[in-house]
Amino acid sequence: GQQVMQIPQYQHVQEGEDFTTYCNSSTTLSNIQWYKQRPGGHPVFLIQLVKSGEVKKQKRLTFQFGEAKKNSSLHITATQTTDVGTYFCAADEGNRDDKIIFGKGTRLHILP
C-alpha cells in the first residue's frame, strides 16, 4: 500500500535556528497536507498543497510541493519556542480510495 516517509523523526534545534522536515512518497500524489500537533494536543491543519512545484508561506513557515508531486517539505525560519511539537504530512494519491495516509511525523524540540 501507499507509504509516506517522513524525515527526520526527531530534530533538536537552538531557538532561532532554522528547521526543515521532509515528506517522500514512492507514488505521485494528488495533494499533500501538513498538520502540527502540540505536546498533549491534537493535530491541527496547517496547509494543503495541490499544484506541482507549489510554494506557500505562512509567516515563518514555507511549504513546498515537488515538481514530480512525490515529495514535500516544511521549513521554519528562526524557530521559536511556540514551534515545539510534531509536524505530520498527510498524502492523498487521488485514486478512488477515500483515505489519506499520514507520515510518522517529525518531532521538533527547541533548546532555549
Residues engaged in binding another protein (CB under 8 A): 30-31, 33, 35, 41-45, 48, 50, 88, 90, 92, 94, 98-105, 107
In angstroms, what is the minimal distance from the CB of 94 to another protein? 7
Residue whose CB is less far from another protein, 6 or 79? 6
Question: Whose CA is closest to 32, among 85, 68, 83, 1?
Answer: 68
Residue whose CB is less far from another protein, 19 or 35? 35
In angstroms, what is the minimal distance from the CB of 96 to another protein? 11
| Number of neighbours of residue 78 by Cβ within 10 angstroms | 11
Question: Whose CA is closest to 83, among 48, 22, 42, 38?
Answer: 38
Residue whose CB is less far from another protein, 78 or 104? 104
Residue whose CB is less far from another protein, 32 or 76? 32
d(CA 84, CA 111): 10
* DSSP symbol at 81: G
d(CA 58, CA 76): 10
In angstroms, what is the minimal distance from the CB of 45 to another protein? 4
